[in-house]
Each structure stands twice: as structure tokens, then as C-alpha cells.
Amino acid sequence: MPGKPRADISSLRELVRQRVEETSLREVAEETGISKSGVDSFLKGREPYSKTRLKLAKWGMRQRHPESRAVPRDEVDAAIAILERWLQSAGSQGAKRLRLRELLERLTISD
């Protein structure tokens, strides 16, 4: 089973630094959805809050993979339906809880 996806904060910080050099602090703030002072604090080494980390991770993915397309809602719904069947097929409530915990861990983005 593959490891859970992780947003590497140091590589995100470097990506933000490069983008600020190419454009501006204000531009990166607009792109990421984070305040200008928040971007500046992040560049100075402050650890981001979880919501900020998520914004940075999403922005980083868009920067690294600009050819990626948004996933249509019906495809997300189909994936959720498959996951629901997988969870329900576990049998006992304990096994279902273990599967749910595994799923949530794999969906969580952390540094």
C-alpha cells in the first residue's frame, strides 16, 4: 500500500520563494489565497496553520502540474461511491472503522 501523500513544507517554501522572485509577494498571495503578510511569514520560516498548509499544497500542485485539469464533480462522486462500497465490504464494524481510519489518514495532507 503506498504511503499517504505529504506536502513537503520545505519544498513548498522554496517554490513560493522562486515564484515571489519571478513575480511579487502580492501576486503569490493572490495565487495562493493567503494574505501578503502570511506569505511573508511563511517565507521567513513560520510553520503554516493546517488551512494555510492545505492552500499551499493545492497551489504547489497547480504550480508543479499546470497541465492537470480539475476533476469533474461526477468523477468525484463515482470515486466516493467506490470508496463507500469498499468501506461497507469490510464486514464487522471494527474492520469498517479500521478502513475508515486508513482512508482518512491517506486523505490527510500534512508536512
Task: List pLDDT tens digits, range 5-38.
Answer: 455 889 999 999 999 999 999 999 999 999 999 9
Q: What is the pLDDT of residue 97?
A: 93
Q: Are residues 60 and 81 in the same domain?
A: no
Amino acid letter, residue 71: V
Spatial separation of the C-alpha atoms in residues 14 and 36, rounded to whole Å:
16
Q: What is the pLDDT of residue 4?
A: 42
Q: Which three cell numbers stand for residue 109?
A: 495532507
Q: What is the pLDDT of residue 7?
A: 57
Spatial separation of the C-alpha atoms in residues 63 and 57, rounded to whole Å:
10
Domain-embedded: residue 101: yes
Q: Are residues 40 and 87 in the same domain?
A: no
pTM of the model: 0.58
The pLDDT-based confidence of 89 (bands split at 50, 70, 90) is very high
What count of residues does the chain have?
111
Q: Are residues 78 and 51 in the same domain?
A: no
pLDDT at 2 over 50: no
Mean pLDDT, to the nearest integer, of 62-91? 86
Three-class SS state of 5? coil
Instruction: Give the whole-number percent of the chain exceeding pLDDT 70.
Output: 91
Q: Are residues 77 and 47 in the same domain?
A: no
Question: Between vectors from CA 62 to CA 55 and to CA 52, what angle results, nearest 5°?
Answer: 10
Domain that holds residue 41: 9-64
Domain-embedded: residue 1: no
Q: Are residues 21 and 52 in the same domain?
A: yes
- Report how many domains make up the chain: 2
Burial of 26 (0-12, 13-18, 19+ CB in 10 A): exposed
